[in-house]
Amino acid sequence: MLGAIASFTSMAIAGRAVSFELDTFEIMLFRSITGIVVVLLLAFGLGTAKQINGQRFGLHFVRNIFHFTGQNLWFYAIATIPLAQVFALEFTTPIWVILLSPLVLRERLTPIGLLSAFLGFIGILIVARPDAATMSPGLLSAAVCAIFFALTAIFTRKLTMTEPITVIMFYLTTMQAAFGLICAGYDGDIQLPSMQTLPLIIMIGFAGLFAHFCLTRALSLAPASIVMPIDFIRLPTIAVVGMLVYHEPIQLIIFVGAALIFGANYLNISYGSAQNKPRHKIN
């Protein structure tokens, strides 16, 4: 998850930079093409290419529809509102995971999970301070993308029960490229990246791929309701980045909300660890 956090942060910086030249569909298209090359090189290099099959094609398709939608909303949001605000609203993802996992994965919804979701949501309200008078498409995009990211995480968890990481990453990149090509090219006008933008597109491709590798690996080791709250660490990280790179002011209220979010995060993780701890019989 720490690898995913670093990758998502770098992707936000590069994504904002290229948004002045490419639209979100074009960013997704070229990012995914980079990902396809990397995935195939690794698959053939590690000898895992033979694992790729179409047995769960439908589930991959549904998972990637959710992800493609959420990612496009995310790229739009980072280009239009402060990064800390985007990440704060995106951090409702673990709350949605906690609430939706019982419906899809049949994971047990515990009182501690509900309490963690409630506390985390209050923390996010403190950070984002949503106001009906100041609502914008960027704010709405950041809020809604969290729901799609939660569904992506839940279906990723479902796939990891039977599918190797190579298969998940292969379908991630190829389906996202196909979706991006359709959406970017429906009007017959696809903007190619310039020489200045191309390195950033490649960076987005590598960062996105590594982030999803880390996330998929984490979800294969622990329940989604335990893994996802760790992502909250991105909030203070991106707040500092926004200040240093884009001169976005850091307000104390952001860290007050972050402290509450971290408290909810720690509560959920510590309870999950205690529940999963092996119990030894005393003779």
Identify the pLDDT of residue 278: 52
Q: Helix, strand, coil shares of the chain as percentages rounded to 5? A: 80, 0, 20
How many domains is the chain partitioned into structurally?
1
pTM of the model: 0.83
pLDDT tens figures, 213-272: 787 788 778 776 677 667 777 777 888 888 888 888 877 787 788 778 778 877 777 776
What residues have CB less than 8 Å from 233, skipping those under 6 apart?
Answer: 2, 5
What mean pLDDT do residues 99-123 have? 81
What mean pLDDT do residues 152-170 have? 89
281 inside domain? no
pLDDT band at 283 (very low <50, low <70, confident <90, very high): very low
Higher pLDDT, 79 or 279: 79
252-276 and 111-128 are packed helices; what angle lies between their axes, rounded to 10 degrees? 170
169 inside domain? yes
Amino acid 29 reads L
233 inside domain? yes
Higher pLDDT, 46 or 222: 46
User: Is a pLDDT exceeding 50 seen at residue 281?
Assistant: no
What mean pLDDT do residues 53-61 have? 91
By residue range, what is the domain housing residue 162? 2-276
112 near 267, Cβ under 8 Å? yes
54 near 112, Cβ under 8 Å? no
206 inside domain? yes
Distance CA 255, CA 214 (A): 26
Higher pLDDT, 282 or 248: 248
29 inside domain? yes
Question: Cα torsion for 19, 22, 23, 29, to the nearest 10°?
Answer: -120
Q: Kind and range of the H or E element at 154? A: helix 137-160
Lowest mean pLDDT among 110-119, 173-182, 230-239: 230-239
283 inside domain? no
Which letter does DSSP use for residue 22 in this model? S
What's the start-to-end Cα distance of the chain, in Å? 39
